[in-house]
Amino acid sequence: MMNTTAPKTSPAPSRWVTGLQQAIEQGIIGPSYSLEEHTPWSTMVLTFIGAFISSLLFIACFGLIAYELDLIDSSVFFFICGFLGTVSALVTLHSKSQRRLFAEYLLFILLVVGIGLITVGFLVDSPIREKQVPLLISILCGICTFALSINWGRAIGGFATAMWLYLYFQVFPGAIGFPQSYVAVLTLPLVAMVFIAAQQSIVRQGRWKLALHLEPILCGWVAATLIAVAISAGQAMFVGGFLPTSFGATSGKTAFGSLLVEYMRYPLTWISLATLPIAWWWSGMHWKVLQHGRVIALLLVVTVFSCISPLLAISLALGTMALATQRYRIAILAGIAALWIIGALYYNLHMTLAHKAAWLAITGLVLLVLAFAGKSLKQPAAQTPSPAAQSKTTPFPARPVVSMALLALAAVVAFGGINSSIWKQEQIRSADFQVLIPLAPVDPRSLMQGDYMVVNFEIGSALANAPEQARRYAYLDIGPDHVARLHREAREGEPRIELVYRSGRWTLPADAWFFQEGDGKRWEAAHYGIFTVTPDGQSALVNMATSDLQPIQ
């Protein structure tokens, strides 16, 4: 009896696996070459820590000897040591001999130290100014990166080259008619897009050795570009609460209309907006789904949406090209950068919450219309699999009733928890007992953000710096004007207010006062916080009062 079972077919290998096999067959690279590192991450990290500590001891001894011999005042010393260290590390790392991971890390650290010594040599006796140092380091990193033969070293080198170039544009002294950081985040992605297209052309020509050599450099460059784009977008949402104020290119709120008009004045903005259609067109040649009409309509919507944040177009362009070329990790990083940019735009625009909500709702409505329009298009009929095949492909059959029940249960738990918290806060806020607690100095930057201000209240140092424990209550020493002083811990039966342990000290639970956008000027006169306090010490900040104890209306 003839066997009619179809032979099993293995999935087609990726283009990199195919190229690697062809390169090995042609003798271009050795049979042990691999695109993936087989060493566990834990081993790599511990080995690097050991190499780093060893190199620190060597560098310290070498520096002490140079200091005792009075060699550090001459640029010749730095040039000679830097050149010898860089060249010896490059030659050793470029060789095809087998090396242990510890030795590779030591040589790479020697390479970094050599680049640093050459840079110091230029600064000692040469006319190079400090503002040109990032460009010099970027050039040295680029030269050394192409000379390396280890994948992880080339990836780090590509990342460092792009980041130092970005720092150079940040401090570039020339008058270019637009913020220098924007020139940086436009130059880097344009180079990355050309880099990706050129590398794909090299792959189609069958030049696998060069393609495999450029791949880690390309990934490092694109990763640095996406990080630079996100940094230039500014602070996203509440990230500004734990990042330094210098982080990001934007500061404070910007009016929507003035921001749009300011951006549209410059050709650089139009160039950045053009990156998304160009990347979409190029990716469509490799990813046919991008050529469908509804996908092109989505492109138009996203491009219009990007007019108020051209950096968004750049991140989406790089993400599209990464998806089209199967660089999924880079695509995920591009998606994270896009989310960061949207958050920064939402955070920095001087718009009311209603206008922001309307803007997001309109965008979502347009995307919903496109989705329904896409469903109405005629789709090719799909073949219904046989029951046997379906049982093989879906080992866990769908159970709509169970799924809907789980979704309903999750919704009940979520809404129940939220409403329980709201009910508890309302009970505290409706308490009849009110006290005024003096405000400590308010962070002036919080008023610039327009949505809330950071508040801090005067608490005695002995009480604030008390050791951490499960619960702690402060005694409400209430004066005739209802102003309470918090100097010591409450005893049994005394009026009290519960404290929380935050950032290494005891403080009141309320650390921010939220108000309507654009209304921050009125609250600058606040000198006291008005609290409602329950008998068990629970409290809620319900209003602010001026220096003459009058509630702010």
DSSP assignment string, 442-511: P-HHHHHHSSEEE--B---HHHHTSPP-S-EEEE-EE-TTSBEE--SBPPTTS-EEEEEEETTEEE-S--
At 446, is the pLDDT very low, low, confident or very high (cuts 50, 70, 90)? very low
Element (H, E) at 255: strand 254-255
Among 60-74, 213-227, 491-505, top mean pLDDT goes to 213-227
Token readout for 239 is 């990230």
- Three-state DSSP at 548 gives coil
Query: What pLDDT does 6 receive?
Result: 42
What is the C-alpha separation between 26 and 20, in angstroms, rounded?
A: 10
Residue among 205, 225, 240, 219 nearest 163 (CA): 225
At 239, is the pLDDT very low, low, confident or very high (cuts 50, 70, 90)? very low
Average pLDDT over residues 178-197: 73
Query: What pLDDT does 485 receive?
Result: 80
Q: Mean pLDDT of all residues in the chain? A: 72
At 235, is the pLDDT very low, low, confident or very high (cuts 50, 70, 90)? low
DSSP state letters, 34-47: -SS--S-HHHHHHH
Q: Is the pLDDT score of 525 beyond 60? A: yes
Residue among 128, 172, 119, 309 nearest 229 (CA): 309
What is the C-alpha separation between 133 and 135, in angstroms, rounded?
A: 5
Q: Whole-structure pTM over 0.85, yes or no? A: no
Under 8 Å between Cβ of 454 and 511: yes
Helix axes 151-170, 180-204, angle to 10 degrees: 150
Average pLDDT over residues 242-250: 37
What ranges do the domains of the chain cover? 176-238+247-374, 431-545
Query: What pLDDT does 528 receive?
Result: 87
Query: What pLDDT does 194 receive?
Result: 87
Q: Does 359 or 210 have the greater pLDDT score?
A: 210
The per-residue pLDDT for range 299-346, each reduced to its tens digit, is 777 777 776 677 788 888 888 888 888 888 888 998 888 888 877 776
What percent of the chain lies above the pLDDT cut of 90? Answer: 1
The per-residue pLDDT for range 98-108, each reduced to its tens digit, is 667 788 888 88
Q: What is the dihedral of CA 292, 297, 300, 304, to 10 degrees?
A: -150
At 279, is the pLDDT very low, low, confident or very high (cuts 50, 70, 90)? confident
Average pLDDT over residues 139-144: 87
Residue among 493, 425, 524, 510 nearest 459 (CA): 510
Q: Does 534 or 376 have the greater pLDDT score?
A: 534
Q: Is the pLDDT score of 2 beyond 50? A: no
Max CA separation in the chain (angstroms)? 104
Query: What pLDDT does 159 receive?
Result: 92
At 397, is the pLDDT very low, low, confident or very high (cuts 50, 70, 90)? very low
At 530, is the pLDDT very low, low, confident or very high (cuts 50, 70, 90)? confident
Residue among 504, 526, 395, 360 nearest 454 (CA): 526
Q: Is the pLDDT score of 269 beyond 60? A: yes
Q: Is the pLDDT score of 39 beyond 60? A: yes
